[in-house]
Amino acid sequence: MKTRALGDTGHESSVLTFGTIALNYLDQEDANEMVESVLDAGVDHFDVAPSYGDAEVKLAPKLNEHRDEIFLGCKTQERSYYGAWGSLERSLDRLGVDTIDLFQFHAVTRYDQLDAITGEASRGRGEGDHGGALRAFEEAKEEGIIDHIGLTSHGDPSLVRSAIKRIPELETVMFPFNATLDAREGPEYDYRSVLDLARERGLGTLCIKAFAKRPWPDDVPEEERPYDTWYEPYDDPDDLEECLRYALSQGMTSIPSAGDPALVPPILEAARRFEELPEPDQTRLREERDGDDSPVPAP
């Protein structure tokens, strides 16, 4: 599988990142098999989070067996200094590892969350000089517990750009990008500006929602959805391949796979065959999806 430089981190990431939330829906034996199949396909970048159910626990056996082969990205939704330290220590314990390659502020979608992370929210409130989660990340990096700092968001593009500017320690950013968003007019869909700023600053870019088709229809109850994803995904192999090729052809570093286990094999195959999408096909895809609904940005 092709690889790309993850910004200025020094790591070469496979063009597909394994979204390990898929492991949450499998028993341990099947989870082990999936990790092996992903590694066999050439994926070297894994993404996990405490909010992904039992994914950390189910990843742990094969992670430890193949630790030198896996660039491990983990996340926290804690915004405070002590909360971030506690979350990091719990993830290390559940994963059974001593270090995490990329630790990320997860799902930052509001400015008050960004203020809390940077410590702006705690100033003048008698909370000491510990600051927010950013200070915990900095200390963990100084101690060699984490190697790189990142941020993930499916919020408004302006918020993501603000985060990049306000947190110079960031080395990667994970955000939505697909042809539907790229075809839409309006600042709330302008994730291309995030991509441009991230690349200008030397950040690695991880593309979420690349395979998102639309929000789940209101008349489809959650228990009747055919996939364990919070958006309705494309599922035809040709469509999945076009989704992947489109996002990577814009210069994204890597694309996390969709969360449902059934979608992992066709996405793996698409990533193994990856070639840039010709410009006429990119234009066609934008025109076909212009006006389609999108599940992002999320409030």
Looking only at the bridges linking them, the beta strands covering 172-176 and 71-76 are unpaired
Of 216, 276, 206, 221, nearest to 246 by C-alpha is 276
What pLDDT, on the 0 to 100 scale, is given for residue 131?
81
What pLDDT, on the 0 to 100 scale, is given for residue 298?
66
| Single-letter amino acid, residue 123 | R
- Alpha carbon distances (Å) from 78 to 15, 110, 127, 235: 28, 13, 16, 33
Per-residue model confidence as pLDDT tens digits over 48-64: 999 999 999 999 999 99
Whether 210 and 247 have beta carbons less than 8 Å apart is answered as: yes
* 7 dihedral zone (left: phi>0; alpha: psi -120 to 50; beta): left
294 vs 206, higher pLDDT:
206
Q: What is the largest CA-CA distance in the chain?
A: 58
Lowest mean pLDDT among 126-130, 178-182, 198-202, 258-262: 126-130
3-state secondary structure at position 214 = strand
299 vs 207, higher pLDDT:
207
269's enclosing H/E stretch is helix 264-272
Average pLDDT over residues 177-206: 97
Position 297 confidence tier, pLDDT thresholds 50, 70, 90: confident
Domains of the chain: 3-289 (3.20.20.100)
Average pLDDT over residues 225-237: 97
CA-based torsion, 27, 30, 32, 38: positive or negative: negative
CA–CA dist 69, 77 (Å, integer) = 26
Percent of the chain with pLDDT over 90: 94
Per-residue model confidence as pLDDT tens digits over 119-163: 987 654 544 446 899 999 999 999 999 999 999 999 999 999 999
Bond from prior residue into 297 cis (ω within 30 degrees of 0): yes
Whether 211 and 258 have beta carbons less than 8 Å apart is answered as: yes
Average pLDDT over residues 106-119: 97
Percent of the chain with pLDDT over 70: 96
What is the average pLDDT value for the chain, to the nearest integer?
Answer: 96
Record the tokens describing residue 195, joined without a space: 């991509």
